[in-house]
Structure 1
Amino acid sequence: MEKFTQLTGIAAPLPLVNVDTDMIIPKQFLKTIKRTGLGVNLFDEMRYDDQGNEIPDFVLNQPAYREASILVAGDNFGCGSSREHAPWALEDFGIRSVISTSFADIFYNNCFKNGILPIVLPEAERDMVMADAEKGANARVEIDLEAQTITLSDGTEITFEIDPFRKHCLLNGLDDIGLTMEKVDAISAFEAKAGESRPWV
């Protein structure tokens, strides 16, 4: 998993509440178990019409936000089913952080397992980031995970909270497998000792 330390990029405003995982990546794209290739179908039903043409009004189709790496969203982002394909699609598109006032628990946890930083802010501060994002591509937002700060284009700094363990995992690029591999020496020693004490196993 790619480490997350600092991120400076374009923030795309998506001021919709209750964006569920089927809106993020519709069910017909869940046939794959690959983590790549889903970005083109991110928000598919909002990005494209029935003929597959881009809908110009959708934020990620607008020239200013095609290279967005941060998404600023409404309340309760990622609700609905528990599909891990949702953070896969966001990450494959290039979104490395989502900022909202609240997230669905399973989606929130899945983000950390896939190298995406979900940031929870009070409504007033989220609205400040949303307003900055609405300025377009010239308004670059900087996120510093170590310092736990968001710096807006005008220099305004906002702090955010994050669980220390999750912060450690993102800073070091550790998913569940990576965490296990950190203990590989202890695991090997345990297995060797167990083999000696219980050779019949």
Structure 2
Amino acid sequence: METQEIKIKKAKLSKGGCVEASYIDADGNEITLKGKNKCHNDLKVALAALVPFFADLTEQKEADTIDWSDLESAENVDLLRKLDVTGLSIGGDDNNRIITMTGRRTLITSRVLNLNAPGVEMESETFEWSHIDDFDLAVQAFIYEVKEYIVNRKWEVVQATLFDGDPDDPFAGAEPTDAAPPVEQPAENVA
């Protein structure tokens, strides 16, 4: 199955780091997926790239000082550290997609405020937003990663432990044996 054959309607990251998505497959079936595998870091990066747009659309105080010329700058990352985008939904139709982001703000009290950004009409003649093209690219990057998760099983790469069958380990196939020679006892010191 190719990535282009499915149409994502909704996608979010669950608390466990897995993808939950609703999509339409090549046959027109609407499918809801609750993934059990943690997502690849590329998907987390794609979600993080949506945060500046989320801050702007939800009129967060940080939106006024975002450096739009370098969205991935350390200053922006630090500025936006209390905000997260957890998912998005795509409504409307092919002629006018409406993108709605869901996210949260971690408050000073460490409590979490859930937020929904207002829907963005992507092909609107009336909605003016100077960041819409960059936002569209960021949305497409996230959707691509969600499709990769679903179709190509692009999941978190689990780091092998030291003892997980390293092909270069000369002792990898070693098994304990009961046929070991007896250990000699040291001679007693007779004085």
Same fold (TM over 0.5): no
Which of the pair is proportionally richer in helix?
Answer: 1
| Structure exhibiting the larger radius of gyration computed from Cα positions | 2
TM-score where L is the length of structure 2: 0.25
TM-score where L is the length of structure 1: 0.24
| Higher RCO (CA 8 Å, separation ≥ 6 residues) | 1
Which of the pair is proportionally richer in strand?
Answer: 2
